[in-house]
């Protein structure tokens, strides 16, 4: 099919003329500060007119020809004049298809749909059925044009992301504002953002605070207030004050750049249904061509009153009916629509195969911190043994936690304050799933969970299970020094997420490296029955393997580096893309941009609806075509029925496919 291998065009400000066989649409930028609204409307109107112009010309000439044939007979409208009239009516819509057929044959693909349409329409001319020959090609072209419009509509949600990175940024050099290409900005440059401007690169906010519209990254225009030192991302739109941002990531490495790359590559990973239809069409099309030849010639040996033109007409009708347009376009379009609908809601699928996979998910296994909870911790209690200097211990803990980017470390920094740079650490080591250790003043400092103390055989005199909150154990000089308790808030939409997943018939399990009693406390609040804590990364892998051993599909949702292995192992890996680590995002099959767990259920629902629409289209196309093929072979269907079976069914399938973009999930 002419659209199935089209790639998303990523080069800005390039377009090519549209015809029945080419439906690429221009990509516009809004980075020069001008209002393109009216220009864009006129350009769209002009583009639509150009797309339909060949069909309009053919349609007018066809109507006049039919009028002269049947309603307003003209003596001059006969013989070569009549033939020439219909040939002229045929050429605007027929030439592009003849060209496509020729190019396909040159490439070795003889049995393309273009070849079928050319044989059928030229054959109609050969037996004197000129109006029908023009009509078949005309309606085929109109169908192709509508298909192109549907594909463009499906792409629009994804292509809109291309407008979210400005081509230019304003940087401060010697206190002067200078405009440069965004690609030329260096790490460490200071970007000045005026009200309403989009940020071109990821960076660190230097202003005391600023409000940003994050619609480009999250699908929602709700303002997000950032404070000095917090990370701001490319694509965010500045609020109503002049803001300064220090560039921390190269242009091509920004989160939005990675998101664009993920989406642009999404169409290369095909769902099983798409792959099947491609293979099916390659086998199916030659078969129907040979069957058409058989319908035309074989009756010669068995029918007494054999008339070549009659059986050729039946064969041509058979060819038109058998054209696999509805299947070949509507199935990829269904998946493309699903990807577009998901991206509009801040969910990125890296391929249509994952849309298919997520629709079959039976288990959702999720991390706790940063996935179902905010990942923003606050210190609740500080319990330090009397034998130790509380301020000194907290100072040392703060220095050691300065080596970590974990949310717990941030909570400790916020509580203790500025890190004392005079403290020297030696042999700093992070023990995965346990915590940190280092040597200070010749003594060992351990900060982490109680498993860390168990690992180094350090005795403690409390029961970790008796503390509900997350507990950070501290040992100094191989002696238990005390602990901190840290609390995390459950995300507002987390309970709704669990409820929706249960409604979809999905089993929910929570896995966490946090204390079992903390995990169970959160799980109880969310209504999750299966919850496990005190897990190392390899323990999470084992838990997922246990579920997969039951021949059940698993989606794992996480956000941290330590979640990457289990994300890779699961049937569908889902990463939280806002706060999530790059490792988790790159490993995942689906990325949720705004970190909202409710999007997990939405992603599954989009997958289910997409699959339902695809199978509706497959069933519709096969049933209608099989019925009309039988009628055509028996001489009971004319070219008009053939046109309905081909173009009509294709249009119905397309209209069904684009429904998903209008659905509310």
Q: Which residues are catalytic?
A: 367
CA distances from 458 to 266, 331, 384, 527, 628 (A): 51, 62, 16, 36, 81
Residue among 324, 325, 340 nearest 147 (CA): 325
603-639 burial, b at 16+ Cβ within 10 Å, e below that, comes to bbbbbbbbbebbebbbebbeebbeebbebbbeeebeb
Pairing mode, if any, of strands 373-384 and 347-349?
A: unpaired
| Residues 6 or more apart whose Cβ sits within 8 Å of residue 622 | 327
State the Cα–Cα distance between residues 444 and 437, nearest whole angstrom: 7
Instruction: Pinpoint the alpha helices (H) of 71-129.
Output: 79-106, 113-126
Q: What is the DSSP string of 220-278?
A: ---EEEEETT-EE-TTPEE-SS-EEEEE-S-GGGSHHHHHHHHHHTGGGS--HHHHHHH
State the Cα–Cα distance between residues 215 and 556, nearest whole angstrom: 26
Give how far the C-alpha of residue 557 lies from the chain's centroid of Cα atoms, to the nearest Å.
16
State the Cα–Cα distance between residues 285 and 104, nearest whole angstrom: 14
State the Cα–Cα distance between residues 123 and 618, nearest whole angstrom: 29
Torsion angles phi and psi, residue 445, rounded to 5: -120, 125
User: In the sheet where 554-558 sits, what is the strand order?
Assistant: 347-349, 590-592, 572-576, 554-558, 363-367, 507-511, 530-532
State the Cα–Cα distance between residues 200 and 191, nearest whole angstrom: 9
Helices 272-297, 113-126: crossing angle, 10 deg rounding: 20
State the Cα–Cα distance between residues 598 and 101, nearest whole angstrom: 48
Cβ atoms of residues 170 and 195 within 8 Å: no
Tokens describing residue 251: 């242009």
């Amino acid at each position: 099919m002419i659209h199935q291998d089209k790639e998303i065009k990523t080069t800005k400000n390039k377009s090519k003329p549209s015809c029945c066989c080419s439906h690429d649409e221009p990509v516009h930028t809004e980075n020069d500060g001008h209002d393109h609204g009216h220009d864009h409307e006129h350009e769209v109107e002009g583009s639509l007119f150009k797309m339909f112009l060949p069909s309009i010309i053919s349609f007018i000439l066809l109507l006049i020809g039919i009028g002269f044939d049947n309603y307003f007979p003209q003596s001059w409208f006969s013989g070569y004049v009549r033939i020439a009239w219909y040939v002229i009516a045929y050429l605007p819509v027929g030439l592009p298809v003849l060209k496509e057929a020729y190019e396909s044959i040159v490439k070795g693909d003889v049995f393309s749909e273009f070849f079928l349409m050319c044989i059928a329409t030229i054959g109609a001319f050969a037996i004197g059925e000129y109006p029908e020959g023009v009509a078949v090609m005309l309606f085929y072209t109109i169908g192709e044009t509508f298909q192109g419009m549907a594909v463009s509509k499906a792409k629009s949600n994804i292509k809109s992301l291309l407008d979210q990175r400005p081509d230019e940024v304003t940087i401060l050099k010697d206190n002067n504002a200078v405009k440069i290409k965004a690609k030329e900005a260096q790490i460490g440059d200071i970007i000045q953002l005026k009200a309403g401007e989009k940020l071109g690169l990821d960076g660190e906010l230097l202003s005391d605070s600023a409000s940003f519209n994050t619609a480009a990254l999250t699908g929602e225009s709700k303002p997000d207030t950032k404070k000095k030192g917090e990370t701001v991302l490319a694509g965010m739109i500045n609020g109503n004050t002049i803001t300064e941002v220090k560039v921390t990531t190269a242009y091509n490495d920004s989160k939005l750049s990675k998101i664009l790359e993920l989406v642009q590559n999404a169409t290369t990973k095909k769902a099983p249904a798409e792959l099947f239809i491609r293979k099916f069409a390659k086998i199916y099309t030659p078969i129907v061509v040979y069957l058409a030849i058989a319908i035309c010639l074989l009756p010669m040996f068995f029918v007494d009153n054999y008339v070549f033109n009659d059986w050729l007409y039946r064969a041509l009708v058979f060819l038109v009916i058998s054209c696999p347009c509805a299947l070949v376009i509507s199935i990829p379009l269904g998946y493309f629509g699903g990807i577009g609908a998901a991206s509009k809601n801040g969910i990125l699928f890296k391929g249509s195969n994952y849309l298919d996979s997520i629709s079959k998910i039976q288990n959702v296994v999720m991390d706790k911190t940063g996935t179902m909870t905010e990942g923003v911790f606050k210190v609740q209690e500080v319990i330090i043994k009397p034998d130790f200097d509380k301020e000194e211990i907290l100072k040392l803990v703060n220095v050691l936690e300065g080596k970590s980017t974990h949310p717990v470390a941030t909570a400790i920094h916020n509580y203790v304050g500025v890190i004392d740079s005079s403290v020297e650490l030696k042999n700093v080591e992070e023990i995965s799933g346990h915590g940190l250790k280092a040597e200070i003043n010749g003594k060992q400092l351990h900060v982490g969970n109680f498993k860390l103390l168990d690992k180094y055989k350090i005795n403690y005199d409390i029961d970790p299970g008796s503390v509900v909150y997350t507990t950070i154990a501290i040992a100094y000089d191989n002696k238990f020094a005390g602990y901190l308790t840290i609390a995390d808030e459950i995300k507002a939409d987390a309970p709704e997420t669990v409820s929706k997943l249960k409604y979809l018939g999905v089993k929910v399990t929570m896995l966490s490296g946090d204390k079992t009693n903390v995990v169970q406390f959160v799980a109880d609040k969310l209504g999750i029955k299966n919850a496990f804590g005190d897990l190392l990364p390899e323990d999470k892998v084992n838990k997922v393997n246990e579920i997969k051993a039951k021949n059940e599909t698993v989606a794992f949702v996480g956000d941290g580096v330590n979640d990457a292995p289990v994300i890779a192992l699961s049937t569908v890996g889902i990463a939280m893309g806002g706060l999530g680590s790059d490792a988790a995002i790159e490993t995942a099959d689906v990325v949720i941009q705004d970190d909202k767990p409710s999007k997990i259920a939405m992603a599954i629902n989009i997958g289910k609806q997409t699959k339902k629409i695809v199978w509706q289209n497959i069933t519709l196309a096969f049933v209608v075509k099989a019925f009309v093929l039988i009628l055509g072979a028996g001489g009971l269907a004319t070219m008009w029925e053939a046109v309905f079976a081909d173009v009509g069914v294709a249009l119905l399938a397309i209209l069904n496919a684009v429904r998903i973009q209008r659905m509310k999930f």
